[in-house]
Amino acid sequence: MQDAVSAGRRHGERSAPYQPLAFRGALIIAGKESGELLLSKRGLLWLLVMSLVLSGFALLLISNTELGLLENAQVVYDMVGLVTSLGALLTLVVGADAIGGEHERGSLVPLLLAPLPRSALLLGKLGGQLIAWSAMLGIALPYLWAVGSTGQNLAAGIACLIILGTPVVLTFGCLGVALGARLLSARSALTIGLVVLILAASPMILGPGLRRTAIGVAFDWVNPFSAVLNATDAVVIDSEPLLTQTVPFAIALAWMLIALWYARRSISRLTGSPQ
C-alpha cells in the first residue's frame, strides 16, 4: 500500500464543496446503464435475441407480401406493433433489473449511498431505458425498411413508432423499476410485469370483431397499447395525419405519467441496508 499519510494530505487539500448533482448524477447513472446494455454480455444477448425475433418476423412478412397475401401498409403496421411490443419487453427487463437486479447483486446500496436525490437515481435509470429503446429502434429500422420500403407508409410508421411508441415503452420501463423497488427481486418484478404486458398487448391478437364489442371498446379506451395500435392503424393503413391522433397519444402519455409517479413513489420508499 502507498503511504496513507500522503494520501490523507492530498485528501485534506481537496476542498470540493458538496454540490447538488441531481441532473448530472442522472446523466452519469444513465451512462452506466447504457454501458451495462451495450458492454455486458447480458445486455448484448438481449439485443441479439431482439434481432433474431425481428429477422424471423420480417422474413414472414416479406414472404406474405411476395405472395400477395398482405398489403404493404398492413406489413408496416404489423412491424410497428411488434417493435413496440419488443421495446416494451426490453425496457421491462431493463427496468426490473435496474433496482431489483442491482439489489440482488449487492450493487444497489453503494448507489443509494451516493449523495444524490432518489429522483436523480430514477431519472438515470429511465435514461438507461431510453438508451435501450433507442438501441431497439436502431436495430428495428433496417427491418422496417426491408419490409416497407416498397410502399408509401414507411415514414408514417416510423413516426408512429417514435412518437406513440415511446410513451408505451417507457410505461413498462417505469413499471419494471417500480416493481423491482417494491419486491427487491428482478425475477418477481419481471414475472408480474410480463403478465401486465401480455394483458395490455392482447389487442394485438384480438380480432377486429371482438375489439368492436363494448368490452373491446372500453378496453381500448384505457389500454395504452390499444390506443397506440389504433392510432398507428389510422395513420399507416387509413393514411390519416398523425396530428389527428391526440387522444391516443394523451392516453399513452397519461399511463406513462402514472407509471412514472408509481416508480418515483416506490424508489423514494427504498431503504436498503449496507449488507
Partner 1 sequence: MTGLANGRSEVLVELRSVEAWRGGATILRDVSLTVRAGEIYGLIGPNGAGKTTTLAVVVGLLAPTAGGARTLGLDPLGQAEAVRARTGVMPERGGFYDWMSAFQYLAFFARLYGFDPPLVEIGERLAHVGLSAPPDQPIGTLSHGMRQRLGLARALINDPSLLVLDEPTGGLDPRGRREVHELLLTLSHKCGIGILMSTHILDDAERLCDRIGIIAGGVTVAEGAVPELAKMGRDLEAPEQGGGDRYRLRLADRGMQSASKRLPAGVSVLDGEGDWWTVALASEHPPEMVWRELMSLGWPIREIQRLDSRSTNSNLERLYLELTKHTERQRAA
Chain contacts with partner 1 (rule: CB under 8 A):
1-2, 4-5, 7-8, 11-12, 14, 16, 18-21, 24-25, 28-29, 32, 35-36, 39-41, 102, 105-117, 271-275
> Does residue 176 contact residue 95 with C-beta atoms inside 8 Å?
yes
The nearer residue to partner 1, 124 or 148, going by C-beta atoms, is 124
**Dist. CA 252–CA 158, nearest whole Å:** 17
The nearer residue to partner 1, 124 or 203, going by C-beta atoms, is 124
Q: Please state the closest distance from residue 119 (CB atom) to partner 1, in A.
A: 11
Q: Please state the closest distance from residue 120 (CB atom) to partner 1, in A.
A: 9
List Cα–Cα distances, 64 to 50, 58, 75, 251, in angstroms: 21, 10, 9, 33
Q: Within 206-245, where are the H helices?
A: 208-211, 214-222, 224-232
Q: Please state the closest distance from residue 48 (CB atom) to partner 1, in A.
A: 16
Q: Please state the closest distance from residue 127 (CB atom) to partner 1, in A.
A: 14
Closest residue by Cα to residue 248 from 168, 170, 129: 168
Closest residue by Cα to residue 105 from 185, 175, 35: 185
**Dist. CA 227–CA 168, nearest whole Å:** 10
Nearest 5°: CA angle at 124, between 23 and 82?
135
The nearer residue to partner 1, 1 or 214, going by C-beta atoms, is 1
CA dihedral 141, 204, 95, 137 (to 10 degrees): 0
The nearer residue to partner 1, 6 or 207, going by C-beta atoms, is 6
> Does residue 151 contact residue 73 with C-beta atoms inside 8 Å?
yes
Q: Please state the closest distance from residue 187 (CB atom) to partner 1, in A.
A: 17
Q: Please state the closest distance from residue 176 (CB atom) to partner 1, in A.
A: 19
The nearer residue to partner 1, 39 or 215, going by C-beta atoms, is 39
**Residue 89: Cβ-neighbour burial (10 angstroms; 0-12, 13-18, 19+):** buried
The nearer residue to partner 1, 102 or 220, going by C-beta atoms, is 102
The nearer residue to partner 1, 31 or 151, going by C-beta atoms, is 31
> Does residue 94 contact residue 37 with C-beta atoms inside 8 Å?
yes
List Cα–Cα distances, 188 to 55, 104, 175, 181, in angstroms: 30, 12, 12, 11
Helix, strand, coil percent values for the chain (each to nearest 5): 80, 0, 20
Q: Please state the closest distance from residue 161 (CB atom) to partner 1, in A.
A: 30
The nearer residue to partner 1, 10 or 68, going by C-beta atoms, is 10
Q: Please state the closest distance from residue 132 (CB atom) to partner 1, in A.
A: 15
